[in-house]
């Protein structure tokens, strides 16, 4: 049977405010345990929450960026459950009247599938603390620094039909929140976390299958793998005559499997009610419009501009604009090198390769946009070839320095002196008599391809420093002269 996959995502985004959503404690990452947890965050008796205006502003920014209705009146509610990293015994969140109403984002997968994903709503809430289960004499350690960090939870409709689409949607949300500057986007530190609701149904069936929820996935790659794994499990189960149980499952990336967390599910009754400690949040049109004026260029608009201004393909423009730090970096490189296409190739090619291999964010790239721009300038003015540039880049990455310094220190300057190249070409032709005979015997239209061999010999002799354009010209001229 052919199956259709149905996916909806709930994405938690930590807002980049300086302080907590309801207290004046700092939200800076990496502080000593409990040094940023004040009396309000600890839920000591008599403390009261006061709502952070910046969290509200950021949530409104997000709503405007996803074409959503903004809730002019929103209400905080209490979601009740017991866990030691939730000192109040409830999470302050929104349910019936969220700050951001229905909206949408447009996504495109690598295969070119385009889709509009509708957002059901997005609401403000507080993060919980962290439980550390290393052994403290049989006890658990609790760090409440994260408790009260503002989150926007973005709830999509079940509009995605493959794991690729789900990952593309998550990337788009990531691009939007980082471009807006409302989230640092650091998934490894948990700044963006994703729950995936997954079900399958026979193709053509309207009724949704029973869904399971995959919790707390913190990378785009794991979103794809977790969904693929869960989809395969559900289909196997149904085809073997079983039924899918609605439950929360945990994805284990090491074993590449999902497993049930059913035991936590038993008391899933949150008894929501409006929080008596917080009044309804009311904003007016002028507040919303003032925020609209501060919105930066959004990823879709930036992609379109990259296509028209830099003449990039839709795919290249989409990748480069997909992460604001990368887009900024790229534009700086273009400015310095004056070559949009070459800059795109290097940012998406060599640079991306090194960043991936070293698991480094572009913001922490050891090669700055200035350094890369300077390198491309030297390719453009024929000081070095593209191949030598890769060698320079490698040194730049590991040891630092500007392109000019490295080219000078390593003696990598391209040989453009025609006399010197001619001398080497003559030597190569003299020593490769067999290949020269083959060249002479070949049909003229096949000779072009055969030049590659001689080219390789010349490059070997010069350590790759000869100007490839000049070598080709000289080789062709000298070889063809032998054929007459």
Partner 1 sequence: MSLDRSDVEQIAHLARLQIDATDIDSYGQSLNSILGLVDQMQATNTDGVEPLAHPLDAVQRLRADVVTEPNQRDALQAVAPATEEGLFLVPKVIE
What is the helix (H) or strand (E) element at residue 135, kind and residue range? strand 130-136
Q: How far is residue 33's CA from residue 142's CA, in Å, rounded to a whole number? A: 8
Q: How far are the Cα atoms of 128, 137, 139 from residue 134, in angstroms, in the given order?
A: 19, 9, 8
> Closest separation between CB of residue 270 and partner 1, Å?
9
Contact pick of 7, 9, 36, 164 for partner 1 (by CB under 8 A): 36
Three-class DSSP category at 126? strand
Which residues fall within 8 angstroms of residue 305, CB to CB, at 6 or more apart? Answer: 297
Q: Which one of the spans 116-124, 128-136, 168-176, 454-462 is the region binding partner 1 (CB under 8 A)?
A: 128-136
> Closest separation between CB of residue 138 and partner 1, Å?
6
Strands 212-217, 248-252: pairing kind: parallel
35 binds partner 1 (CB under 8 A): yes
Q: Which is nearer to partner 1, 152 or 281 (CB)?
A: 281
Q: Which is nearer to partner 1, 164 or 249 (CB)?
A: 249
52 binds partner 1 (CB under 8 A): yes
Q: Which is nearer to partner 1, 30 or 204 (CB)?
A: 30
97 binds partner 1 (CB under 8 A): yes
Which is nearest to 347 in space by CA: 382, 366, 311, 373? 373
Strand partners, 14: 151
> Closest separation between CB of residue 149 and partner 1, Å?
13
Sheet holding 273-274, edge to edge: 90-94, 76-80, 273-274
> Closest separation between CB of residue 51 and partner 1, Å?
5
Total site size for partner 1, rule CB under 8 A = 56
50 binds partner 1 (CB under 8 A): yes
Pull the structure tokens for residue 295. 């919105």
Which is nearest to 458 in space by CA: 406, 418, 409, 407? 418
Where does 157-242 show beta strands of DSSP type E? 192-202, 212-217
Q: Which one of the spans 78-86, 160-168, 213-221, 468-476 is the region binding partner 1 (CB under 8 A)?
A: 78-86
Residues 131-160 that bind partner 1 (CB under 8 A): 131-133, 136-144
Q: How far are the Cα atoms of 15, 73, 74, 146, 276 from residue 279, in angstroms, in the given order?
A: 21, 10, 9, 24, 7
What is the helix (H) or strand (E) element at residue 114, kind and residue range? strand 114-126
Size of the chain in residues:
484
Q: Which is nearer to partner 1, 49 or 299 (CB)?
A: 49
List the x/- string, 270-309, binding to partner 1 by CB under 8 A. -x--x-x-xxxxx---------------------------
Which is nearest to 176 in space by CA: 106, 71, 227, 98? 106
47 binds partner 1 (CB under 8 A): no
> Closest separation between CB of residue 47 and partner 1, Å?
11
Q: How far is residue 76's CA from residue 278's CA, in Å, rounded to a whole number? A: 7
> Closest separation between CB of residue 13 and partner 1, Å?
17
Q: Which is nearer to partner 1, 139 or 430 (CB)?
A: 139
1 binds partner 1 (CB under 8 A): no
Interface positions with partner 1 (CB under 8 A): 17-19, 23-26, 32-40, 42, 44, 50-56, 75, 80, 82-84, 96-97, 131-133, 136-144, 263-264, 267, 269, 271, 274, 276, 278-282
């Amino acid at each position: 049977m052919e199956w259709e996959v149905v996916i909806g995502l709930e994405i938690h985004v930590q807002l980049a405010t300086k302080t907590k959503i309801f207290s004046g404690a700092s939200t800076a990452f990496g502080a000593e345990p409990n040094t940023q947890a004040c009396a309000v965050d600890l839920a000591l008796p008599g403390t009261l929450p006061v709502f952070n205006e910046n969290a509200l502003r950021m949530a409104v920014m997000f709503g405007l960026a996803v074409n959503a209705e903004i809730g002019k009146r929103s209400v905080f509610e209490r979601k009740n459950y017991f866990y030691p990293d939730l000192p109040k015994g409830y999470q302050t969140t929104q349910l019936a009247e969220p700050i951001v109403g229905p909206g949408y984002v447009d996504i495109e997968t690598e295969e070119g599938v385009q889709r509009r994903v509708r957002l059901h709503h997005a609401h403000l809430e507080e993060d919980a603390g962290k439980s550390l289960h290393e052994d403290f004499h049989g006890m658990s350690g609790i760090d409440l620094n994260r408790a009260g960090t503002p989150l926007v939870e973005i709830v999509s409709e079940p509009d995605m039909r493959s794991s690729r689409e789900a990952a593309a949607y998550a990337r788009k949300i990531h691009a939007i929140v980082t471009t807006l500057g409302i989230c640092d986007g650091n998934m490894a530190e948990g700044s963006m976390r994703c729950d995936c609701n997954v079900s399958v149904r026979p193709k053509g069936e309207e009724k949704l299958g029973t869904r399971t929820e995959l919790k707390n996935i913190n990378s785009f790659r794991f979103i794809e793998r977790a969904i693929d794994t869960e989809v395969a499990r559900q289909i196997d189960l149904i085809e073997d005559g079983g039924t899918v149980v609605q439950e929360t499952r945990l994805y284990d990336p090491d074993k590449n499997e999902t497993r049930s967390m059913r035991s936590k599910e038993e008391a899933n009754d949150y008894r929501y009610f409006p929080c008596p400690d917080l009044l309804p949040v009311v904003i007016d049109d002028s507040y919303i419009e003032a925020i609209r004026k501060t919105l930066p260029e959004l990823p879709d608009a930036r992609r379109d501009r990259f296509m028209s201004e830099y003449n990039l393909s839709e795919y290249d423009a989409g990748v480069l604009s997909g992460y604001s730090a990368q887009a900024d970096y790229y534009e700086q490189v273009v400015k310095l090198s004056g070559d949009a296409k070459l800059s795109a190739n290097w940012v998406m090619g060599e640079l991306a390769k090194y960043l991936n291999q070293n698991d480094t964010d572009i913001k922490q790239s050891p090669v700055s946009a200035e350094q890369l721009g300077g390198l491309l300038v030297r390719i453009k003015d024929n000081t070095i070839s593209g191949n030598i540039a890769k060698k320079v880049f490698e040194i730049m990455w590991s040891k630092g320095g500007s392109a000019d310094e490295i080219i000078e220190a390593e003696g990598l300057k391209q040989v453009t002196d025609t006399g010197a190249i001619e001398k080497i070409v003559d030597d190569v032709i003299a020593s490769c008599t067999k290949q020269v005979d083959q060249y002479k015997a070949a049909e003229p239209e096949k000779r072009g391809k055969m030049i590659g061999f001689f080219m390789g010999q010349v490059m070997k002799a010069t350590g790759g420093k000869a100007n490839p354009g000049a070598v080709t010209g000289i080789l062709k001229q000298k070889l063809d002269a032998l054929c007459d």
